[in-house]
Structure 1
Amino acid sequence: MNIVSQSSRTILTNLHDLMASKRGAQTKLNMIVDIIGETLQSEVCSIYLRREGMLELFATRGLNQEAVHVTRLALGEGLVGSIAKDVETLNLDEAATHPRFAYKPETGEEKFHSFAGVPIIRAERAVGVLSVQHAEPRKYEDVEIETLQTVAMVMSELIAGAGLIDGSDDAQMDQSTAVANGLPLVKGVALGKAIFHEPNIRIEHVLAEDVEVERQRVYTAFTKMRDQIEQLANQAEFGNAGEHVEIFAAYKMFAYDEGWSRRINKAIDSGLTAEAAIEHVQQRTRMRMRQIDDPLLAERMHDLEDLSNRLLRIVSGQMSTAAQLGLNEDSILVARNLGPAELLEYDRRRLRGVILEEGSLTAHVTIVARAMGIPVLGRIGSIRGQIRENDMLLLNVDQKNVIIRPSGAAIEAFQHELDLKKEQKAKFASMRNIEPISIDGTRINLMINAGLRDDVSSITTTGADGIGLFRTEFQFLVSATLPRREQQIRFYRDVLDVAGNKPVIFRTIDVGGDKALPYLQNRGQDEENPAMGWRAVRLALDHGGLMKAQAQSLLEASPGKLLQVMFPMIAEPWEFDEAKQVFDDQLALLKKRGKQPPSKIRYGVMLEVPALADMLDILLPKVDFISIGTNDLTQFLFAADRAHPRLAERYDWLSLAIMRFLNRVVKECIAHDVDVSICGEMGGRRLEALALLGIGVRKLSITPAAIGSIKSLVISTDIPKIEAKMQELLKSPCPNLRPELEKWAEEHGVDLD
């Protein structure tokens, strides 16, 4: 099929004349399918519209006319129903092979192989589907798909004005209590009224009367948007360095991206208004985002969508988001996605939580929200179709869900839980200066895990003994380019300065797998098992310059100070040797240049690969400390992906297999007089921490929020007694130690509440 690049403009010109005519809506639809079919030389063109919750065939060229107003599909049924439900495009060379294909014999479509369809979107929901078919099996070209998307925007205006589609979803929405589950991004709980981040911007005029006028409107909007971004980036709270600055550097890069503005200009050239052109490009971006496997690049595309929303509001004159309108009461923000700039515009005295249809653990907004202490639940598809503005929400990210329109009793119970948490938090805060010493006088070291500059201050607020794990990769993940050595030095120096005389253990960069850096070529691309792939020390050693630059930065950042370095994902002792040699070489260069070295360097490894446990006799004489990373270790021991929803809760940390493994490692480290600690979520849970104390662990590195809780546990525990109980349990054949430990703790007055 020979398609010329002017096809979109040709169709829009014809549609402009058609829309201006006084013909009836059904006649216009019949003419639209003919215009598209003739211009794209497509044998079939069909329009399905949403009526009474179903998708009804309203007009067709190429299918049997008897099927019009007869063929109906439910949301999610068939290819057309899938497009409407998922609000995304399909482009298939062989339609019948798709798992959702549904044959409708009355249409006579059995002779057609190719299929492409796009949603007709109104107020961010699919109100219909525009599709084309062809007898020849082939994928439709990008220019054809773009043309269909452009026409679908014009049709949205037509069918809404003619009253051909269902009314607003609000009138049809279930009023009863509902529960939606999602992905925990930032843990916490919150109670508040639902506030939609963006009021729906209805694009009332799609076809341009004067292309140059529309182009000038876009130019003006771009200038205003860039001014806004500059003002946000210069806010005093960002300071002069750190992750926030890196985030905004990448964010501003998109604001000034000429490719984006060219794509909008091209859409205007085809005959669209400024608003329609921005929305058209945004829809294409969303489609591409769903096709991107690289999570970091996908998050960068979210930044572009954030800016698109901002630009659309400016050009349409609808400037107000919920942030600009202000929050009058405790609120939970609901959005498809959110950029870091927009989150920071909200009054954090009223903003209690965030719910996202999309989002991920490495997203910029997640990093910022974590620093702000705002709970975030993500990956809840179509959540905005389940919630109305001002609905009461009970957000419990710890339980991975949100309760929509809860009963009065549920709200009262939830509020009671919140009050208890506040009391508990106050209790733990009051213990800040109390040392974690057990009943028998054993001093336990409680360290925190950190990754952001803001996290370091938690040492003071919690009374922690230092930082047992500082994740250095965040600085790399939020940067648009490889951070310069000067930036790294300044960052590490700041962390050490804030920590004061408290120790900090820096874990070298742990990227790769699901934490890809777009500016590094990853030789483990398209990995089936990224958690066990080309990542962490494997990738860092492969990219020699990356490890050297980080070694130089850490050494120069700590003149005359203690520097503690930990290598992740070590599987064999010679990997440690190779990583340490990089630091030894850079230390020699530092001294050669006459710069002051650290007063002392301690080297350690994270034991998270089970194979390393059988090489401890070779490794332990080489290292100063071992940190057992229980999160990865657990999934590797059980061959169970901790991100898999059906496996995440299946394997208990208090299973006999894990506890015997940890007991063996701890005992061997103690025998070699090597410091051993537990790093990860396991050590922050009271019953699990009790078990760890019972096998000889005396140092835990946990989330700051868990310090007070574990401190309370320690001071109520008699260590020799729990050690005796654990050795007894480790010899037993029970599949899970949890019930026995809970019983023992209750009998001995251990604080597990």
Structure 2
Amino acid sequence: MNAPVQISAGSAARDILRRLHEVMASRANAQEKLNRVVKIIAKSLSSEVCSIYLLREGVLELFATEGLAQSAVHVTRLAIGEGLVGQIAANKEPLNLAEAAEHPDFAYKPETGEDMFHSFAGVPVIRQESAVGVVAVQHVEPRIYEDIEIEALQTVAMVLSELISSAGLIDASTMTSIRAHTGALRLEGLRLVKGVGQGRAVFHQPRVVIEHTVADDVEVEKQRIAEAFLSMREQIDAMMGKAEFAAPGDHDDILETYKMFAYDEGWIRRITEAIDSGLTAEAGIERVAQKTRARLRKAKDPFFAERLHDLDDLSNRLLRIVSGQVGTAAEMGIGRDTILLARNLGPAELLEYDRRFLKGVVLEEGSLTAHVIIIARAMGIPVLGQVKDIRAQIAEGDPLLLDVHRGVVFVRPPDAVIEQFDEQVALRTKRQAEYDRLRDKPAITLDGTDVTLLMNAGLRADLPSLDESGADGIGLFRTEFQFLVSATLPRRERQTSLYKNVIEVAGDRPVIFRTVDIGGDKAVPYVDSAAREENPAMGYRALRLALGRKGLLKVQARALLEASEGKTLRIMFPMVSEPWEFAEAKALVLEQLAAQMARGGAMPKELKFGAMLEVPALAEMLDLFLPQVDFLSVGTNDLVQFLFAADRSNPLLAERYDWLSPAVLRFLKRVIDAADDAGKPISVCGEMGGRPIAAMALLALGFRRLSITPAGIGPVKAMIRTLELAPLSKAMEGWLRSGANVRDKLEDWADKHTVRLR
């Protein structure tokens, strides 16, 4: 019985590569080479079994084995997703098990004679981003293979990718995941940057096919990688020096972090170590990138995932430089109206495209806080994310219609769809023109009730919308975006600069700054909030975290005080559950105010404190709480999900998350009545207020201040100016008493009284 192997990171890897190099250089046929490879790996890893499965005619076929029955070669076949081998190919991820048979996907193949083996580890063989095979090892004794052993297998898989491709062991149809589509498709996704675009499909294609993995001369490869790093850094420095990035903006922290990674000595060292083991420069970059991608797939923290995306982006850039291959559509030049397609993009990669022709982006991944989305928003490029299997459904050059307002992309649309799309774009343009004409008109109902319409913001790029939308001010400025895109705690000076810019743009219009809401599902690495939480939305986040990490809140308070010199500063604390939390946070800010006064520093003219009502428990304390605050704001997004115990991001619970449920409206009525009795201003700053029919309900309940997205101000103002409020408010009282279907009642009311809802 063989003992578990103890591999040193350098010598064993070099030995495996040397022997594989000899196999590849031999005159043996492909089958003989594979037979020798499995013997080498089994011996090197002290495993009783090493097997190679290759994709042929859509299934994984056992091509070579050391340790299993030779009669099973070219007989045992597994579908993608079938058994452990099939799962590795389907997920394109390694699998490492001490007891293979206990895994729910284990599939026993009696012809292989694998009954006696317990341990199992396998890695995918990747070619052009597709899994074209699997390398697996097995051991009699139950044990988990060491990380260095898995890395050795992954290196072998890279070499095998080269071998099986050059030997013609993979069908041409296997080398691409694009299937021939001729019919029209309608694909849905996540609305990341709203807008519309029309153009031909162009794949970003950042990956470079590595043709040679084993180095002939390690020193030559190290010199190549050193030169490639110099070239890459010059590119990034030139990009950051562009005129459009000279002014302060949301891109500052993003590009600084990107540059920091490009100069990271640890990254360079890991690639050099991979080359020292016998890999070419290209294979060394890819080897390190594989580990990055593996960590990326497991990352729960969106901040950490975004940093890994940056590293992946840089790896692709470095790989293209060192190989001398033009790998992106940006480098080749698009030259016509284009909708760009990619699994994901780094911020720098997007910036390389010609904005005259780039009409939109469709991503297989993507999130609202991703770096590339923040850059795209600043550039005014619509982006649709989380569109699955792009390559399987769209071919290069296909005509596309992108409508991120509706969350769809139309592929190869027929003439009727194009005409409808053009009509909808024209209608949207017409409506926007109508909203623009309302921009300077007051939001006042037919019976003379004034409504204040404020906008929500969180980025410098949002600020032009203040004038464009005709908003009365900023009712919610989310300060956390600056924290989410920074690799370290944002310096006080940088925070001050942002807040001062916001106040200057607002002029005499009010701005409410919400203190940082991080933690939970918005974790950052420089604040050790807590272990992974089962329910992050209700966890250690927002004000809870700020009170636990008071240094963070103190720095932000000082930055806000300095930025608002001579102005009224309005500070709002998020996720207040009990009055003592608000009192403690307020005292902390006042402490900073006293220190600022003692220093003779910049001071606001007036200081007002408010709270977000998102936690239902706070509503039970309003009689004690309202005397402490200057204003109150209802955050309907979290409030409604807490009221219903229904995750608003879960599509299975969409019907349970209803703003117009009588339960929600009765709760809000109780809150608005309490605020009115106490004489305290109250607003709604969640998505609810930005939908005309929901805003209509809020006005009927008694709310007179709404803070919504800039795009929602025009439609909501149009609704307000066609509404007679007094009779609606009276009707609402009856609907709430009876438990009626309020949504249907509101739609009927709007129809009968010609209230504009769209």
Partner of 1:472: 479
- Letter of the 2:713 partner, please give it: I
Report the equivalent of 1:547. 553
Partner of 1:92: 97
1:617-674 deviation digits (Å, cap 9, x = unpaired): 1111111111100101111001111122212343211111111111111111111111
Is 2:690 aligned against 1:684?
yes
Q: In 2, distance between residues paired with 1:385 and 1:704?
A: 36
TM norm structure 1: 0.97
Residues 207, 272 of structure 1: 8 Å contact kept: yes
Tell me the distance in 1 between the aligned counterparts of 2:421 and 2:612. Answer: 39
Superposition pairs of residues 120-269 of structure 1, within 5 angstroms:
120-167=125-172, 168-169=175-176, 172-198=179-205, 200-269=207-276
Counterpart position of 2:590? 584
2:362 maps to 1:333: no
- Match 1:674 to one of 671, 680, 703: 680
| Conserved 8 A contact 2:578-2:621 | yes
Change (3 A) 1:181 1:131: farther
CA distance in 2, matches of 1:678, 1:351: 37
Partner of residue 737 from structure 1, selected from 720, 735, 742? 742
Q: 1:402-417 alignment to 2 at 5 Å? A: 402-417=409-424
Q: Is the 8 A contact 2:184 2:414 kept in 1?
A: yes
Tell me what 2:470 maps to.
463
Cα distance between partner residues in 2 of 1:76 and 1:10? 33
Relative to 1, partners in 2 of residues 1:80 and 1:407: Cα closer, same or farther, differing over 3 Å? Answer: farther
- The answer (yes or no) to whether the contact 2:644–2:656 under 8 Å persists in 1 is no
2:632 counterpart (626, 631, 639): 626
1:750 aligned to 2:755?
Answer: yes
Provide the C-alpha distance between the structure 2 equivalents of 1:412 and 1:25, rounded to a whole number of angstroms: 55
Distance 1:200 1:294, change over 3 A: closer
Q: State whether structure 2 residue 442 is matched by structure 1 residue 435.
A: yes
When structure 1 is superposed on structure 2, of 690-699 and 184-193 the one drifting more is 184-193
Task: Answer with 396-405 or 496-505: which moved more.
Answer: 396-405
Per-residue CA deviations over 1:567-588 (Å, capped at 9, x if unaligned) read: 0000111111111101111111
- Counterpart of 1:295 in structure 2 is 302
Partner of 1:273 in structure 2? 280
Gaps of 5+ in 1: none
Higher mean C-alpha displacement, 375-384 vs 246-255? 375-384
Question: What letter corresponds to residue 719 of structure 2 in structure 1?
Answer: L
Find the aligned partners of 1:382 and 1:183 in 2 and give their Cα distance. Answer: 14
SS at match of 1:513: coil
Q: Runs of 5+ in structure 2 lacking a partner?
A: none
Q: Within 2, Cα distance between the matches of 1:150 and 1:470?
A: 48
How far apart are residue 372 of structure 1 and its match?
3.0
Three-state SS of the structure 1 residue aligned to 2:443 is coil
Q: Which amino acid aligns with 1:711?
A: K
- Aligned partners of 1:291 and 1:200: how far apart in 2? 21
AA partner of residue 257 (structure 1): D
Deviation for aligned residue 1:188: 4.1
Q: What per-residue deviation string (whole Å, max 9, x for no partner) do you get for residues 312-342 of structure 1?
A: 1111112352223333333222212211111
What's the counterpart of residue 371 of structure 2? 364
Counterpart in 1 of 2:7?
Answer: 4
Per the TM alignment, residue 179 of structure 1 is displaced from its structure 2 partner at its CA by 4.6
> CA 1:181–1:115 in structure 2 vs 1: closer, same or farther (change >3 Å)?
farther
State the secondary structure of the residue aligned to 1:731. helix
Assess if the C-alpha contact under 8 Å between 2:456 and 2:474 holds in 1.
yes
- Structure 1 residues 546, 183: CA separation in 2 closer, same or farther (over 3 Å shift)? same
Cα contact 1:333–1:355 (8 A) shared by 2: yes
2:711 pairs with 1:708: no
Aligned residues: 751
- Residue of structure 1 equivalent to 2:36: 31
Deviation at 1:264, TM superposition (A): 1.0
> Which stretch shows the higher mean deviation, 150-159 or 197-206?
197-206
1:177 to partner: Cα distance: 3.8
Deviation at 1:189, TM superposition (A): 4.2
CA separation in 1, counterparts of 2:343 and 2:631? 44
Q: Which residue of 1 aligns with 2:81?
A: 76
The residue number in structure 2 matching 1:42 is 47
Tell me how far 1:398 sits from its aligned partner.
4.7
- The alpha-carbon deviation at position 307 of structure 1 amounts to 0.4
- The aligned residue for residue 493 of structure 1 is 500
Q: Given residue 90 of structure 1, which amino acid in structure 2 is its aligned partner?
A: L
| Alpha-carbon shift at residue 397 of structure 1 (Å) | 4.0
Structure 1 residue corresponding to 2:57, chosen from 52, 55, 79: 52
Cα 1:395–1:94 shift into 2, 3 Å: farther
Q: Distance between the aligned counterparts of 2:77 and 2:237, measured in 1?
A: 51
Q: What is the Cα deviation at residue 238 of structure 1?
A: 2.3
Per-residue deviation at 1:483?
A: 1.3
Q: How far 1:367 sits from its partner (Å)?
A: 2.1
Choose which of 596, 606, 621 in structure 1 pairs with 2:612: 606
2:457 pairs with 1:450: yes
Partners of 1:295 and 1:7 lie apart in 2 by: 36
- The one-letter amino acid of 1:10's match is D
Q: CA deviation at 1:109?
A: 1.6
Does 2:727 match 1:721? yes
Change (3 A) 1:134 1:386: farther
Per the alignment, residue 637 of structure 1 pairs with: 643
Name the CA shift for 1:94/1:392 in 2 (closer, same or farther; >3 Å). Answer: farther
Residue identity in the other structure for 1:581:
A
**SS of 2:663's equivalent?**
helix
Task: Report deviation, 1:698.
Answer: 0.8
8 Å Cα contact 2:207/2:316 also seen in 1: no
Q: Does 1:659 align with 2:662?
A: no
Distance 1:649-1:247 versus aligned 2 partners, 3 A rule: farther
Q: CA deviation at 1:680?
A: 1.5
Q: Deviations over 1:334-376 (max 9, x none)?
A: 2122111111222333323222233223221122223333333
Cα pair distance change 1:637/1:551, threshold 3 Å: same
Q: Distance in 2 between matches of 1:56 and 1:418?
A: 51
Find the aligned partners of 1:176 and 1:642 in 2 and give their Cα distance: 34
More displaced 10-residue stretch of structure 1: 265-274 or 608-617: 265-274
State the Cα distance separating 1:693 from its structure 2 match: 1.1
State the percentage of identical aligned residues.
60
Cα deviation 1:358-402 (Å, max 9, x = unaligned): 322322112222333333333345433332212233444455444
The 1-side partners of 2:753 and 2:460 are apart by 40
Aligned to 1:538: 544
Q: CA deviation at 1:33?
A: 0.6
Which of 364, 374, 384 aligns to 1:377? It is 384
Range with bigger deviation, 286-295 or 138-147: 286-295
* SS of the residue 1:47 aligns to: strand
Contact 1:242 1:475 in 2 (8 A): no
Q: Using the TM superposition, give the Cα deviation of residue 597 of structure 1 relative to its aligned residue in structure 2, in angstroms.
A: 2.0
* Deviation for aligned residue 1:14: 1.1
Shift of 1:182: 3.9
Report the secondary structure of 1:261's partner residue: helix
Q: Is the 8 A contact 2:130 2:176 kept in 1?
A: no
Q: CA separation in 2, counterparts of 1:646 and 1:165?
A: 41
The AA in structure 2 aligned to 1:287 is A
Q: Distance in 2 between matches of 1:315 and 1:81?
A: 34
